[in-house]
Amino acid sequence: MTDPVETPAEQTRVPAQPERPARARRRQPWEVDQERMEAEIRVRRSEIARQVIAARAQRRRERPARLAAPGWTADAQRAFIEHLAAHGCVSHAAHAVGLSKQSAYQLRDRSPNSLFALAWNVAIQRSRRILLDQATERAMNGQEKPIFHRGQEVGTQIVHNDRLLMFLLAMKRDPVHPNLSEHELAELWPTMLAQIDVIMPNTLTADRLEDR
């Protein structure tokens, strides 16, 4: 048996070389930093989400108590406080909502930590400021009084009350709340009206009121 004859192509064939693995590209320093920052951001977002969920759960567990009495719904309390702030008279404010002055005082005294009680004091302060502005204007500009001669009014004159002006300038108002300034209470006035029947903790601050 004769050996097979190799063709010229077979005689020049080169043995196949094993493929070399592709060399991994070296990452740039900025790429490493970017990956690290993205990983930190993902961790922070996860932590923030966990804190938000925990805070919401805590708020659900700490649902505030509500102040109520026969006839004294949240709307009635709000209307009473708004009328009190405008006119400064408890009996008139109670009459405006169809309830008695005695029941208004009983509701306020039942829970001194309620927003109703706090808003009551702020309303009195706001009404006094209105009266103070009016009195100051009269003291500064004077009041027009008629002049009579032999029982007949013959003219008018402007009379200034210097004693009233000195009293108004020297008057000092006591703070309404130990933790909240007058400016903070003014800014929180809409919040107090919106949550008028909420009973707050003893250590009330502006942040805790806004978080409700």
Q: pLDDT (tens digit, 9 = 90+) per residue, 147-187?
A: 888 888 888 887 766 676 666 666 666 777 777 788 888 88
**Residue range of the domain that includes 126:** 66-211
> Is the pTM here over 0.85, yes or no?
no
Is 24 inside a domain boundary? Answer: no
SS3 for 38? helix
Is 1 inside a domain boundary? Answer: no
Is 45 inside a domain boundary? Answer: no
* Mean pLDDT computed over 28-42: 83
Task: Give the burial string for 171-208 (b: 16+ CB within 10 Å, else e).
Answer: eeeeebbeebeeeebeebbebbbebbbbbbeeebebee
Q: What residues contact 76, with CB distance under 8 A and at least 6 apart? A: 97, 98, 99
* pLDDT for position 200: 78
Count of structural domains, the chain: 1
Give the residue, 52 or 206, on which the prediction is more confident. Answer: 52
Is 49 inside a domain boundary? Answer: no
Is 37 inside a domain boundary? Answer: no
Phi and psi, residue 178, nearest 5° = -70, -25
The most confident of the ranges 94-98, 146-150, 188-192 is 94-98
Is 141 inside a domain boundary? Answer: yes
Is 25 inside a domain boundary? Answer: no
Is 135 inside a domain boundary? Answer: yes
